[in-house]
Amino acid sequence: MREITYAEAIREALRQEMQRDPHVFLMGEDIGVYGGAFGVTLGLLEEFGPERVRDTPISEGVIAGAAAGAALTGMRPVAEIMFMDFTTLAMEQLVNQAAKTRYMFGGKAKVPMVLRTPAGSGTGAAAQHSQSLEAWFVHVPGLKVVMPSTPYDAKGLLISAIRDDNPVIFVEQKLLYRTKGPVPEEPYTVPLSVAEVKRAGRDVTIIATGVMVVRSLAAAAKLAQEGIEVEVVDPRTLKPYDAETITKSVIKTGRVLIVHEAYKTCGFGAEIAAMISEGPAFMYLNAPIRRLAGLDIPIPYNRTLEYHAVPQEENIITAVRELMAYK
């Protein structure tokens, strides 16, 4: 199978859904002429024209609000917020409007919109352009939250998100854009709310999101040389997440490490840890549940400090070894 980048996989999903459904259109800052801040939408303006690839003013509230309004009238907008940090300016439209409308109208109205947004650190973009705020949206009933880690998942999950009748926050970690992987040329879907075991193992379960899946897989490969077999589970959809797959893995291994880039306090990992401790997997644990997450500090501009602000491969290896010390 051919290999393409994560960014190319997202672009292909957008192109194929726009070709399939005339109700799908794109909107966001610099997505047209410029092709997006990270080049994801390059060429789509030339192919579909300015009616369906709309450059917007620099107003995140307008982008999210217009997307919600368009969705309510039968369109399927895919809006882009240039950096996830700027979703702070669109919380009213996303949290109070898009998330609640279907419920408040008893299912008679639907809001089939997708909000794509690049997130995370690693590019030297400093405190206001490097945050991972997915837990904010996981907390809100009515929103679905998706966070793919591979090009294959990025394409399949985005197509599923566009076809879904609910608002979906689609989180793209910036360091993943240039990663490559096998992706079919034809359209396909990856179902929402279904986790995937990215690597099978018997000793420790790592539950990781976004770029931490890549780092966890690299760490698992090195730990295998020591005789430690790590199972890596990627939730892929954070809301609603696949508790069954996670639970089965924890029962199998008896040790859990939850890894995410976002701040540790009230992060997505806390929800997973609580779910495990409250469920049937708890009785199978051979060690305390361990969370490895970003430090509770703004992301530094200094590249050395930035590196140490979020989990790296060596931190994952150390945490797994510590879990294995429990007998």
pLDDT digit string, tens, across residues 149-176? 999 999 999 999 999 999 999 999 999 9
171 contacts 84 by C-beta, under 8 angstroms: yes
Looking at 129, 139, 260, 308, which residue is catalytic?
129
Q: Provide the pLDDT for residue 129.
A: 97
Q: Encode burial over 19-42: b for 16+ CB neighbours within 10 A, e otherwise.
A: eeeebbbbbbbebbeebbbbebbe
Q: Look up the CATH number of domain 196-324.
A: 3.40.50.920
| Domain 3-182 matches domain 196-324 at the CATH topology level | yes
pLDDT digit string, tens, across residues 268-284? 999 999 999 999 999 99
Q: Band of the pLDDT at 316, cuts 50, 70, 90?
A: very high
Q: Band of the pLDDT at 327, cuts 50, 70, 90?
A: confident
Residues found in the chain: 327
pLDDT digit string, tens, across residues 28-87? 999 999 999 999 999 999 999 999 999 999 999 999 999 999 999 999 999 999 999 999
Per DSSP, the three-state class of 252 is: helix
pLDDT digit string, tens, across residues 26-44? 999 999 999 999 999 999 9
Per DSSP, the three-state class of 97 is: helix
Q: What is the mean pLDDT of the segment spanning 106-118?
A: 97
* Rounded Cα distance, 297 and 266, in Å: 14
Q: Provide the pLDDT for residue 282.
A: 98
204 contacts 323 by C-beta, under 8 angstroms: yes
What percent of the chain stands above pLDDT 70? 100
Ranges assigned E (strand) in the chain: 3-5, 24-28, 53-55, 76-80, 114-119, 144-146, 168-173, 180-182, 196-199, 204-208, 230-234, 237-239, 256-263, 290-294
Q: Look up the CATH number of domain 3-182.
A: 3.40.50.970
Q: What is the mean pLDDT of the segment spanning 204-210?
A: 98
Statement: residue 1 has pLDDT above 90: no
* Rounded Cα distance, 274 and 87, in Å: 27
* Rounded Cα distance, 51 and 251, in Å: 52
161 contacts 146 by C-beta, under 8 angstroms: yes
Which one-letter amino acid corresponds to residue 309?
A
* Rounded Cα distance, 132 and 120, in Å: 5
308 included as an active-site residue: no
What percent of the chain stands above pLDDT 90? 99
* Closest to 257 (Cα-Cα) out of 315, 176, 171, 193: 315
The residues spanned by each domain of the chain are 3-182, 196-324
